[in-house]
Amino acid sequence: MPGEDFDSALQAAVESKSKKIGALFTELGENITDLSEAKAVVEHFEMVLGRSAEAGVDPVVSVKPTHLGLDLDPAVTLSYLQRLAIAAEKVNGYLWVDMEGSGYTDATLELYAAVRKDHERVGLAIQAYLYRTAADIGRLLPLRPTIRLVKGAYAEPADRAFAAKRDVDANYLALSTFMLPAVKRKELRLVLGTHDVPMIRRITSFADALGVEKSQVEVNMLYGIQSEALANLAAEGHTTRQLIAYGSAWYGWYLRRLAERPANIIFVARQMFA
């Protein structure tokens, strides 16, 4: 991670431009306990959008609904998401709504649908390890959505999510393939949020076979992980971004990710020593 503040994150994004790799900024934080914190989060992301544009970096931000007060007042959270969507539009940027644990899935889908009705430049993260995701995507299709497909990192009970990696991978491939025809018709924007390069290559080969333009299949990875592979995809014509996370909450966030899904420990170790 570049650091605890936005300045270092912005510098990292500027340095990546020469490799045709864009940025996606997120200030870490979730489950706030006071709505005054949510207001400060919104103001921070408005600043991020403005300064990114001034620096010549695509203004793209990603925010968790519980960081905007979903636990406290969903109506306030919706108003703040709408405010950020407007701020993103003003600088030709983009707003992403992150998905959290499955207890928030229905509320997050409702928030996204409400914002998407009035704003085009807004996307939603969807988790491939949940059984329900195929049906959720089907319900979103009439909105002409932007979807970032991730595998999922929260600990979920067996009645809600695939536990085995092979099953998650199989569903990720199936969901991506399901969405590609809509991508070709430009009825859906698909972003692959994964570091699984063999999986990405399988999906992009299917996309090529369907006649989908390379730039229509975007790939997002965490900053500093699989950087060479991401640069190669960018050189081939794919739209690429690095998710640059920062903020004083990073250490607690990192520990929770490891605690929620122990397989993440193995993943991080592989990246460090590969």
As annotated, the active-site residues are: 98, 148
Residue 236: CB atoms within 10 Å: 10
CA distance 191 to 55: 24
Distance between alpha carbon 164 and the CA centroid of its chain, in Å? 22
Residue 215's alpha-carbon distances to 20, 166, 189, 237, 260, in angstroms, are 12, 28, 10, 6, 34
Instruction: Provide φ and ψ at 193, rounded to 5°.
Output: -100, 80
Listed residue (138, 108, 106) closest to 124, CA to CA: 108
Q: Name beta bridge partners: 22.
A: 241
For 268, counting Cβ atoms within 10 Å of its Cβ (0-12 exposed, 13-18 middle, 19+ buried), the class is middle
Residues in the chain: 274
Write a three-state SS string for 16-59: HHHHCCEEEEEECCCCCCCHHHHHHHHHHHHHHHHHHHHCCCCC
Phi-psi domain of 261 (left: phi exceeds 0; alpha: psi -120 through 50; beta: other): beta
